[in-house]
A and B are shown apart, each in its own frame.
Chain A
Amino acid sequence: MNERELIARAAAGDSEAQRALYDAHVDRVYRLAYRLAGDDDLARDFVQDAFVRAFQRLGEFRGDSALSTWLHAITVSVSLNGLRKVKRLRSREFPLEDAEMIGTTPRRADPDLRQRLHAAIDNLPPGYRTVFVMHDVEGFTHEEIAHSLGIQPGTSKAQLFRARAKLRHALADFAGAWSA
């Protein structure tokens, strides 16, 4: 059964189709929500909320874009609204034992620098932060981001450029550390 048929059945209330769609997309939706929230409880809330809203509106999905793109748009919207409601991001902690890496990274950032970087990302304006997280952290393309956020790909590129510039400025004290 292809995704189009699954969507039609899920929209009609078929629980097996709903579960199949959930299984197909939940991992990436959770990753995105977690990257934006930085907290497991919040990420779970956002994912649950996003899927509930998505299933309730599945009948409105016209298939102009991929279902994944539509789901990511809902996830970003739910996450940003949720974070706005909390009105403050949790204070960050970076225990070194939690800094487990998947794969290998050629250069490891100094813990202080990394902490400053993460704080600087937290402090980006929401639009810049969302584009930065989606592109540089989660690997979305500018076209995917544009579809998810309802903006032009050029706007996504411009926001990423400005986000990086702000981060470079915020980390000016460490200038040169990335050249080493």
Chain B
Amino acid sequence: MNDDEKFDAWLKDVAGDYNRPPATVPREAMWEAIIPSLPVATPVGVSPLRPVHRTRWISLAAAAAVLVVVSYQVGRRNATTEEAAPAVASAPAPRADLALYAKAAEQHLGRADALLTSVRSSGTTGTTDPSLQLWARELLSDTRLLLDSPAASDAARQRLLQDLELTLAQIVQLSAASTPDDQRMVERSLQRGELLTRIRTAVPSNYSGT
């Protein structure tokens, strides 16, 4: 047996230590998180929703959606009379605009997924990492913009954005001086309602979140 073969044999012997999973698989905990996102039985005669084909124009539409959201907020801030703002906010959005808002929300949730995953993978230090807090602050601001926009007209999306807003607000309020209890509160908030799983279900798999 030459040296390369000895190396390969040794490698196979010791490679089993690499990222060795725990002996017990957390089956029930994972299943509980999966259940809310499972497809349910479709009544006879009702066609299941077809997957939406995402084509290149959607990227352009998404960019337009961001513009619409920003313009909408700028418009609200620049309103000179108190009566003007409700008039804009209460105007029903055209159907095409709703699709754009939905796309903007989808992109936003992709970024939130990336942040929350980073916070979770960083453990207790993640919640007080200044760069993650800055990121959370920006996302919190965008979340509130979306909650004020027609993107929140969908009840399920509105609930998701509200839960996200709560979690982001908790992250933003944490500081290096926060107690472990404060940090655990954020962790519990992440687990409650399985926020990450719900976000990922709402975001297409090919979306990178960047």
Which residues of A sit under 8 angstroms from B120, Cβ to Cβ?
41-42, 45
A122 smallest CB distance to B (angstroms): 9
B21 touches A84 (CB 8 A): no
Of B17, B27, B118, most buried by chain A (CB within 10 Å of CB) is B17
Of A45, A53, A56, most buried by chain B (CB within 10 Å of CB) is A45
B13 touches A106 (CB 8 A): yes
B22 on the interface (CB 8 Å rule)? yes
CA separation between A86 and B122, bound complex, in Å?
Answer: 10
A14 touches B31 (CB 8 A): no
Chain B contributes a number of interface residues (CB within 8 A of A) equal to 50
B210 smallest CB distance to A (angstroms): 8
B13 touches A52 (CB 8 A): no
Which segment of B38-46, B101-109, B142-150, B154-162 sits at the interface? B38-46
Given contacts A26-B25, A133-B18, A164-B8, contact A78 B38 (CB under 8 A): no
Number of CB contacts from chain A to chain B under 8 A: 152
Residues 19-73 of A contacting B (Cβ, < 8 Å): 19, 22-23, 26-27, 30-31, 34-45, 47-49, 51-53, 55-56, 58-59
Which residues of A sit under 8 angstroms from B178, Cβ to Cβ?
none
B205 on the interface (CB 8 Å rule)? yes
Which residues of A sit under 8 angstroms from B81, Cβ to Cβ?
none
Given contacts A12-B42, A31-B21, A137-B15, contact A47 B30 (CB under 8 A): yes
Residue in A14, A34, A47, A121 whose CB lies within 8 Å of B41? A14
Given contacts A38-B19, A49-B200, contact A55 B39 (CB under 8 A): yes
Which residues of B sit under 8 angstroms from A19, Cβ to Cβ?
31
CA separation between A48 and B113, bound complex, in Å?
Answer: 14
A40 touches B197 (CB 8 A): no
A162 on the interface (CB 8 Å rule)? no
Which residues of B sit under 8 angstroms from A22, Cβ to Cβ?
27, 31, 34
Given contacts A86-B118, A136-B15, contact A45 B196 (CB under 8 A): yes
Which residues of A sit under 8 angstroms from B3, Cβ to Cβ?
175-176, 179
Which residues of A sit under 8 angstroms from B122, Cβ to Cβ?
90
Residue in B14, B23, B39 whose CB lies within 8 Å of A117? B14
Which residues of B sit under 8 angstroms from A85, Cβ to Cβ?
113-114, 117-118, 208-210
A44 touches B201 (CB 8 A): no
B183 smallest CB distance to A (angstroms): 14
Residue in B37, B205, B209 whose CB lies within 8 Å of A77? B205
Which residues of B sit under 8 angstroms from A77, Cβ to Cβ?
205
B171 smallest CB distance to A (angstroms): 16
CA separation between A82 and B207, bound complex, in Å?
Answer: 11
CA separation between A132 and B23, bound complex, in Å?
Answer: 21
B30 touches A18 (CB 8 A): no
Given contacts A12-B41, A14-B41, A85-B209, contact A52 B11 (CB under 8 A): no
Given contacts A37-B19, A44-B26, A179-B6, contact A13 B39 (CB under 8 A): yes
Residues of chain B whose beta carbon lies under 8 Å from any beta carbon of chain A: 3-4, 6-19, 21-23, 25-27, 29-31, 33-34, 37-42, 48, 113-114, 117-118, 120-122, 194, 196-197, 200-201, 205, 208-210
Nearest 3 A/B pairs, CB to CB = A178-B10, A13-B41, A34-B21
| 10 intermolecular pairs with C-beta atoms under 8 Å apart | A13-B38, A36-B19, A45-B120, A45-B196, A49-B200, A52-B37, A56-B37, A78-B205, A136-B15, A164-B8
